Structures are given as structure tokens and as C-alpha cells.
A and B are shown apart, each in its own frame.
With several copies, the nearest count.
Chain A
């Protein structure tokens, strides 16, 4: 059996209307893995959180570029979302559930908590004025040989 590997990277402007674009794009990329509805919704939710954070927190009222990279490696999906925005001063604090710096925008402070809940692993790299990179992984449960293989 050949190993399944596939990779894509998409950059887009930080308009809130592009949040749904990011979700559709990641779902379209993963569809050849035949994920369950549940698995796909989990990944779409995590991507939505990370992309929304880059748009709201990273760039605020500026328009910048959000990058989403997605890799399929066998039964593992790796998604990375990054921006070149203001960055995070205290990552530990930022990741606490209910912590938000934008209560005025009715942010719930649950973004990182959702990413952790819906993915297997979450890694946040950031520094003030150096943007933010969120890397998440999730194993897809359906055995390889039952999948429709899109890679040839």
C-alpha cells in the first residue's frame, strides 16, 4: 500500500468573510480521507477558531495575510494557521479558558479551549509583534484501506 501524503498551503486576506472560505477549503482538502462528519466538524471548528483569532486579535482593524497550511500524513492531519500580527505577550494566560482581551467584541475566551478539545494536540508559538502560529494535529479514525484514495 502506498503511503498517503498530501499538502496544501493557502494565504488569504484577513476579512471575516474569509472564515467560511477557510473552513470549506480545509474540508475540501480532507474529503479524500473520508473523515466522519464528527471528525470533519471538529477540524473545521478548530480552524475557524484559529483563523478568527488571526483576523480579530492578530490584525484587528488592519488587513493582513492569514496563512493556513494542511498536511495529510497517513491517518494524521496537521493544520497550521499563522499570521504576522501583533502576537501574544503571555501565551499561558491567553490559553486559559474564558480569558480574552476583547470582551468588547463579545469574545468568549474559549477559542484555544475549543482547539484543544477538538484536536489531539495544540502548539502555540508567538511573541509580541512577531505574529502567531498555531499548529494542531488530529488522527482520523477510519482505517486507511477503507478510504477512497485520491492520491495518484
Chain B
């Protein structure tokens, strides 16, 4: 799948257009295969394509955070829209995920 890319110790995950429970199941499965199979220090969630996200998205990010944190890794998010930022804040996710701001 092209939505998962490993660059050095970074796992970049391109999040789907609509991130719900149905999609979250697949992302969890795939992501863990990479995290367990390779030396991953950073998980980068890319929200460029994402126009919808519900609390299932919180679960999948939190789950990767727990996994990678044990190994001393970190979780980042890029291309975060205002709406997704609001959802991060609502759920406390902004405390554990580093939001990388878009360049001007």
C-alpha cells in the first residue's frame, strides 16, 4: 500500500479522506506491521487528504503513540486542518502528538 512509507526511522502514514472506525481498523493493522517489523522511531500521520475524522481516529493515533513511546519514539502530525486541530484538543491528543505546522 502506498499510504505507508518508511524513510529511515520514520513511518509516514497518509490518512484516508474519511477517517472512521472502518478505516481505523486497517490503519492499525498495517501500521503495527511496520512498527513491529522495522526500526521505527517516529510515526508521522499526514492529514493532507483527510476531510472527516471521528473519535476512532483518536484511538488509532493514541494506540500508535503507546506502542512507539515504549521504544522511546514520538508521534507527529502534518497538514492538520483547523477542524482536526479542534478534535485533537477536545480529546487531549495535542498533549502527546507534535503538530508540525505547515510552511507558508
Contacts and interface: CB of A to CB of B under 8 A. Distances in A.
Contact of B21 (A44, A55, A117): A55
Given A106-B28, A106-B63, A108-B62, A150 B90 contact: no
B59 to A, nearest CB: 4
Interface residues of B, number: 21
Contacts of B53: 45
Interface in A52-89: 52, 55-56
Contact of B55 (A23, A41, A114): A114
B59 A106 contact: yes
B62 A52 contact: no
B18 interface: yes
Interface in B1-52: 18, 20-22, 24-25, 28, 52
Given A106-B59, A110-B90, A41 B22 contact: no
Interface residues of A, number: 24
B29 to A, nearest CB: 11
Contacts, number: 63
B54 A49 contact: yes
13 contacts: A16-B21, A16-B22, A23-B52, A41-B83, A45-B53, A49-B54, A52-B56, A56-B21, A105-B59, A110-B58, A113-B55, A114-B55, A114-B90
